[in-house]
Structure 1
Amino acid sequence: MKHKIQNTKLSSLCLRSTVLYTFFMLSLQGFSQTPPKIRSEVDTTFIKIGEQIKFTVTVETDSTDQVIFPDGQTFSPLETVEAYATDTTRKKDRLTLQKIYALTQFDSGSYKLPAQRIEINGKGYFTDSLQVDVANVAVDTINQKMYDIKELMVVEKSNSGLWKILIAVLVGLLILGGLLYWFVFRKKPLTEEEKVALLPPYDRALIELKKLENSKYLIQDEYKQYYTELTNIVRSYLEEDVHVTALESTTDELIGKLEMLKDAGELKIDNDTLLQFKRILQTADLVKFAKSRPETSLAEEHRKSIEQIVIKTHEALPEPTEEELLEQEEYREELARKEQRKKWVLASGIAAGLILIALASVAGYYGPRNVWDTVTRQKTKILLDQDWIASSYGFPPISLETPEVLVRQKVKLPPEQQAATQGLQVFAYQSPNDAIAISTTSLSLANVEEDPDFEKTIETLLSSLEKRGVKNIITKQEEFTTVTGVKGIKIYGSGKFPIVESNETAQGEYSILLFGGKGFQQQVMITWLSDDPYAQKIVDRILQTVEVKTET
């Protein structure tokens, strides 16, 4: 019984502790946390199509809370333009977070900005929904004319950068020329080997024998290499200075040739020297071909003997005559000229090859004729590629773009026409090679309120072409519309045009534009040669820029 009472007290105590703990924790939580506050607003509820509104969301919460703002296109039907960075302000243990969104709409109407979900510590809070009106933009269709959308205009590849490529090629050639001069034609300092090679045979032989003395052939038991070089030195000297075929001759053949020179009096050398020379050559043959190995001291003695033989041979040679010296000088000069010609041929070949490669590359990209006309400065191509001039001429004005400015022309009218004419302005330009001619005419009549008679004007213009000597005139007619929609008449065709200061004719083309209104008329006339492709391109470009005013 006592045990049962103790268990009941224990259970009651545990239950009471649990209730107190739970109440304490709930009281603590309610005391330490304040519910977050959320506000939303817009800077305006009325915008035009494409304008933006600023939607601002402000959240006040504890510094330990995690807040997630809406991201992406959650404002549909409005579109999010930009979501700015969150602005944070701290005050003690509270944070004020402000997020601004830029919104827009491209269709007119009344739209509802939906409520946005703000997540705080995993719990969702919603902003207020708002109504936004988007007004249409009024278009003035009464005072402003409406025009059809123009077709795409094909623009040909500009050749204005061709000069830059040609300049780059020239710079490359100059650099190549500098490199060729520096590495081929410039007199470079000679190396020791080159200096020795330019010495006379006698001096060169002594220097090479001295080098052989300082070599390590004998120390390394390389007797074959030692005697091979020793005999080559003396044989080369004899071939160059004594003028005998020593390198290809055997020992007996070489000694025999020297004896013949001695007997002929061309080589004053004693028999003992020739005999000593023969013994050295025979020893060298044994070392090279029979693997004989003489004493080191003997090998050294043979080198000294060869040096004396070279000296005695040189002294035994007769002094060269003045004619021989001149022949040797001419021979050296001829060798120098041949070497110089080889260098020039090499340099010219490299330069010509690079030029051909550069020209072929440029011609392949721009076209052969285009490159040729650019290099030769073809006059019509220069007009096409240069900066054009946009200007208005006469009154009522005719606006167009041309390679060169049109110059006012003095026109004399008969007295009877002067009375009927209120104003006449003529402007014209003629290319230097007579490939193209451009003119504009603005005519105002006095006391006339009627539309111009274009048929009569066309007859007058064709008659004037015939008077200028144009033959076989072919005429076509069609409607012409400017960029802004002004309509006129286009008369065009071809014929045989007379060449200035010549009795010959050339195939040419013409194009005439006629515009006008009550009491006035405007005219643009262009003539050009058919075989000039650049003239045709100039005409096409001019016709695309023609603009007139038909109201005075």
Structure 2
Amino acid sequence: MDTIRLHTNKLPAIRIWLILGFFSLGCLSGFAQTTPKVTSNVDSTSIKIGEQIQYKIQVETDTTAQVMFPDGQTFAPMEVVEASPVDSIIIEDKLNLIKKYALTKFDSGTYNIPVQTVLINKIPYLLDSLKVKVANVAVDTTKQKMYDIKPLVEVEKNYSGWWKYIFYAFLALTIIGGLLYWFVFREKPLTREEKEALLPPYERAILELKKLDESKFLIQSEYKAYYSQLTNIVRSYLEEDVHITALESTTDELIGKLEMLKDAGNLDLDGETIVQFKKVLETADLVKFARSTPENAVIENDRKLIENIVVKTKEALPEPTEEELLQNEEYLEELARKKQKRKLIITAVASLLVLGITISAFGWYYGFGYVKDTIVGHPTKELAEREWIRSEYGFPPVSIETPKVLKRIKTELPAEAHNLISSNQIFGYGSMMSNFYITASSTTYKKGVEFDGQKAIDATIKSMEQQGAKNIILKDEEISTPTNKKGLKVYGSMQIDTPGNNGSHNAEYVLLNFTEGGGFQQVLIVYNEGDTYAGQIVERIINSIDFKTGS
């Protein structure tokens, strides 16, 4: 019984432990389901230059988890060519995520893909670093001969977009031409006054007499104005057709001139007509100066007499000779030439005015110095605004963007340098005497040689002095390229002797020094002092410097 009693007392305890055991297994099972699993692998650890490898990250986690994969250039020094979209699969209550990256490298060597981080519910999970070997492409020199680097080939300038400038120029010339045609060269419709002024003297006199009949001078009792205009009509006609000074002559002087022409046989006018004309002029003098008021019958008679005098004078004039007609034709031609000359003067003045306004507007907006350099031309401005070229120079290469391709410069190393330097390559454009001079060089040293950067800089300064530089002022500061490559910038001013005479000009220089990829790279820029365009070029070149080296 005791023994049985003992078992019956232990039975509840065993049940409790069994229940706790099952509960613990359930908790462990639940914990295992919610713990993420992150793995990575590559399809190959050895590739050739330019080939791609597939880097795959696989995450197994709960369906409600938030997962963030690596983004951007976190695989450096390997380069990300493509990142595929996340591929997701749900199996029961688990979420399986797969993210693939295509990686490559264009420099030979052994590279480590750095540790990558995957965030799951903001908790970081680190992946192991992987080593990848990038091999050179083997070249069989027994079958493939080796050749020297081909020289640079001059190509024609790229004129892409030229049609825009032609279009704008054509549009501006069209507008200016249209304005000149409309306001200067166009045969404008003549006004009524202009048409009347072109009529022959006789027809114009008859027309003016008719217009005088339609006036309101007599209705408003303006006799003085009426007679003044009446006599001016006939006087103007006589002055134009008979060629005598009639407008400024007194009555007696005018009648005397007509009688002299009649007696000389140059005007076949009867004496009665001259007498009647004298009476009308005397009446007009009384009205204008003595304020006399003529009767209506006298006014009507004087009006008829004036028209009769004009008609008879026209009939009395001899027919023009051939010489007179020729002189008249020459006179008309001279008038036409004067008119054409006037149009040309107006055109020239208008063109200069438009040009002046245009230049002033551009000068106000861009600055008069810039406009002057655009019109006249400026060598460094043309360099700054042309299409730039990016290229790599030397080995280890320095990548740089310049307005002109740098050409290889052949140099002979001093005898003492042969024991120190393994290779030295220099590329340049221009010369120390030109408006803009730039060189890019890359130097490697033999094994065991202790590199001294200051001595290398001193050697470059000495080379500048040998090319005509003097009074060189040295300043230096540390610089960093946009890709975070550190270097030393030596800069300042100097004077450069001009060959052929004793003169010199002031210049500025910038000497950039880097030690990248096991080599020593220098970029030297020399330009005229105060040249703002050259300053812009220097700044752009400095910001473009980069180095592509293995790590």
Give the TM-score, by structure 2 length.
0.61
Other-structure match for 1:348:
348
Displacement of 1:404 in angstroms is 1.7
1:368-387 to structure 2, matched below 5 A, reads 368-387=368-387
Deviations along 1:414-442, one digit per CA (max 9) or x if unpaired, are 78866865544322122798111111112
Any idea what SS the aligned residue of 1:548 has?
coil
| Matched residue type, 2:399 | S
**Residues 287 and 137 of structure 1: CA distance in aligned 2, closer, same or farther (over 3 Å):** farther
Other-structure match for 2:532:
533
Displacement of 1:443 in angstroms is 2.1
Any idea what SS the aligned residue of 2:492 has?
strand
Other-structure match for 1:46:
65
Deviations along 1:474-500, one digit per CA (max 9) or x if unpaired, are 223332322233222222233222335
Give the Cα separation in 2 of the matches to 1:367 and 1:239: 61
| Matched residue type, 1:466 | E
**Residues 179 and 547 of structure 1: CA distance in aligned 2, closer, same or farther (over 3 Å):** same
Other-structure match for 2:122:
135
Displacement of 1:238 in angstroms is 0.9
Other-structure match for 1:483:
482
Give the Cα separation in 2 of the matches to 1:318 and 1:194: 28
Give the Cα separation in 1 of the matches to 2:389 and 2:208: 80
Other-structure match for 1:393:
393
Other-structure match for 1:430:
430
Any idea what SS the aligned residue of 2:362 has?
helix
CA contact (8 A) 2:391 2:401 kept: yes
| Matched residue type, 2:507 | G
Any idea what SS the aligned residue of 1:354 has?
helix
1:493 aligns with 2:480: no
Any idea what SS the aligned residue of 2:296 has?
coil
CA contact (8 A) 2:433 2:496 kept: no
Any idea what SS the aligned residue of 1:509 has?
strand
Give the Cα separation in 2 of the matches to 1:427 and 1:141: 44
Displacement of 1:461 in angstroms is 1.5
Give the Cα separation in 2 of the matches to 1:358 and 1:140: 66
Give the Cα separation in 2 of the matches to 1:226 and 1:360: 56
Any idea what SS the aligned residue of 2:240 has?
helix
**Residues 327 and 316 of structure 1: CA distance in aligned 2, closer, same or farther (over 3 Å):** same
CA contact (8 A) 1:476 1:491 kept: yes
Displacement of 1:230 in angstroms is 4.4
| Matched residue type, 2:430 | Q
CA contact (8 A) 1:437 1:527 kept: yes
| Matched residue type, 2:454 | E
1:216-365 to structure 2, matched below 5 A, reads 230-249=230-249, 251-281=251-281, 290-295=292-297, 299=300, 305-318=305-318, 328-365=328-365
Give the Cα separation in 2 of the matches to 1:534 and 1:488: 24
Give the Cα separation in 1 of the matches to 2:363 and 2:128: 52
Other-structure match for 1:146:
none
Deviations along 1:63-118, one digit per CA (max 9) or x if unpaired, are xxxxxxxxxxxxxxxxxxxxxxxxxxxxxxxxxxxxxxxxxxxxxxxxxxxxxxxx
Give the Cα separation in 2 of the matches to 1:433 and 1:172: 40
Displacement of 1:360 in angstroms is 2.2
Give the Cα separation in 1 of the matches to 2:124 and 2:428: 46
Give the Cα separation in 1 of the matches to 2:294 and 2:497: 101
CA contact (8 A) 2:230 2:303 kept: yes
Q: CA RMSD, aligned part only?
A: 4.5
Deviates more, 1:468-477 or 1:367-376: 468-477
1:131-210 to structure 2, matched below 5 A, reads 134-135=121-122, 172=172, 175-188=175-188, 190=190, 193-209=193-209
**Residues 164 and 364 of structure 1: CA distance in aligned 2, closer, same or farther (over 3 Å):** farther
1:440-479 to structure 2, matched below 5 A, reads 440-446=440-446, 448=447, 452-479=451-478
Displacement of 1:275 in angstroms is 2.1
| Pairs aligned (count) | 407
Deviations along 1:229-274, one digit per CA (max 9) or x if unpaired, are 5443322111212233333455555334423443455433221111
CA contact (8 A) 2:438 2:526 kept: yes
**Residues 216 and 428 of structure 1: CA distance in aligned 2, closer, same or farther (over 3 Å):** closer
Other-structure match for 1:34:
none
CA contact (8 A) 1:452 1:520 kept: no
| Matched residue type, 1:47 | Q
| Matched residue type, 2:484 | G
Give the Cα separation in 1 of the matches to 2:380 and 2:226: 79
| Matched residue type, 1:294 | N
Q: Which runs of 5+ in 2 are unaligned?
A: 1-61, 70-119, 131-162
Give the Cα separation in 2 of the matches to 1:345 and 1:271: 51
**Residues 194 and 137 of structure 1: CA distance in aligned 2, closer, same or farther (over 3 Å):** farther
Give the TM-score, by structure 1 length.
0.61
Other-structure match for 1:109:
none
Give the Cα separation in 2 of the matches to 1:518 and 1:172: 55
Displacement of 1:49 in angstroms is 7.7
Any idea what SS the aligned residue of 2:484 has?
coil
Displacement of 1:279 in angstroms is 3.9
Displacement of 1:378 in angstroms is 0.7
Deviations along 1:453-487, one digit per CA (max 9) or x if unpaired, are 21221232222222223222222333232223322
Give the Cα separation in 2 of the matches to 1:137 and 1:366: 54
Other-structure match for 1:102:
none
Give the Cα separation in 2 of the matches to 1:491 and 1:432: 17
Displacement of 1:367 in angstroms is 1.9
Deviations along 1:527-548, one digit per CA (max 9) or x if unpaired, are 2222423222211221222223
Give the Cα separation in 1 of the matches to 2:515 and 2:530: 33
Deviations along 1:28-87, one digit per CA (max 9) or x if unpaired, are xxxxxxxxxxxxxxx96432589xxxxxxxxxxxxxxxxxxxxxxxxxxxxxxxxxxxxx
Deviates more, 1:266-275 or 1:311-320: 311-320
1:520 aligns with 2:519: yes
CA contact (8 A) 1:408 1:425 kept: yes
1:72-111 to structure 2, matched below 5 A, reads none
Q: Percent identity of the aligned residues?
A: 48
| Matched residue type, 1:523 | Q
Q: Which runs of 5+ in 1 are unaligned?
A: 1-42, 51-132, 144-162
CA contact (8 A) 2:472 2:493 kept: yes
Give the Cα separation in 2 of the matches to 1:231 and 1:140: 118
| Matched residue type, 2:176 | L
CA contact (8 A) 1:491 1:513 kept: yes
Give the Cα separation in 2 of the matches to 1:502 and 1:495: 18
Deviates more, 1:474-483 or 1:259-268: 259-268
Any idea what SS the aligned residue of 2:387 has?
coil
**Residues 445 and 243 of structure 1: CA distance in aligned 2, closer, same or farther (over 3 Å):** same
Give the Cα separation in 1 of the matches to 2:432 and 2:509: 18
Give the Cα separation in 2 of the matches to 1:416 and 1:402: 33
Any idea what SS the aligned residue of 1:356 has?
helix
Displacement of 1:372 in angstroms is 0.7
